[in-house]
Amino acid sequence: MPARPIIRFPDPLLRAACAPVAVFDDDLRSLAGDLLDTMRAAPGVGITGPHIGILKRIVVIELSREDGVRTYINPEILWSSQETMRHTEGSVSMPGATEEIVRPKSIRFRYQDVAGDRHEAEAHDFLAVCIQHEIDQLDGIFWLQRLSKLKRDRLVRKWEKMRD
């Protein structure tokens, strides 16, 4: 399955909310495979449909090869812990740009797999941060929006210089 071109910041598609996936077929499985190949080529640990211009609620995460690939269709957070953690985040759509973000340390979430079966799960620490980051993307919230205006403006200026 081929790696696809990644949409780059500040493309407006990165701020668009995604439609739920309604059809669970070979095209969806193919899309999940393309997302995995694209994420590995980037490289990254998480990717969504919008990163390649497809506004569907699909997330692929691979924290490590040993840990395995996780594919979440139509994910939604059901509960978030009061306890938070700081983590350096970035995006395959903005390579080289990173900043610390504070997010809940644990979550409970619901999703479907590529066959359409429904699941609930809990995630903690780095996996929880990754899932929240990717669900934000599906909701049209690019990770920069989680930063203060000062940090966001500084990072965007740095990003623009890196691209020149």
Annotation marks residue 76 as catalytic = no
Q: Catalytic residue, from 62, 76, 120, 134: name it.
A: 134
Residue 14, by phi and psi: left (phi above 0), alpha (psi -120 to 50) or beta? alpha
Q: Which domain holds residue 150?
A: 12-163
Q: Is residue 92 part of a domain?
A: yes
Mean residue pLDDT of the chain comes to: 96
Q: Is residue 7 part of a domain?
A: no
Q: Is residue 1 part of a domain?
A: no
Q: Is residue 29 part of a domain?
A: yes
The pTM is what?
0.96
Q: Is residue 142 part of a domain?
A: yes
Residue that is written with structure tokens 């066959």 in the block? 115
- Residues 16-44 pLDDT 10s: 999 999 999 999 999 999 999 999 999 99
Longest CA span, the chain: 45
Q: Is residue 62 part of a domain?
A: yes
* Total count of domains within the chain: 1
Q: Is residue 74 part of a domain?
A: yes
In tens digits, what is the pLDDT along the chain, a chain of 164 residues? 679 999 999 999 999 999 999 999 999 999 999 999 999 999 999 999 999 999 999 999 999 989 999 999 999 999 999 999 999 999 999 999 999 999 999 999 999 999 999 999 999 999 999 999 999 999 999 999 999 999 999 999 999 988 76
Q: Is residue 2 part of a domain?
A: no
CATH number at residue 64: 3.90.45.10
What is the C-alpha to C-alpha distance for residues 159 and 142, in angstroms, rounded to an integer? 15
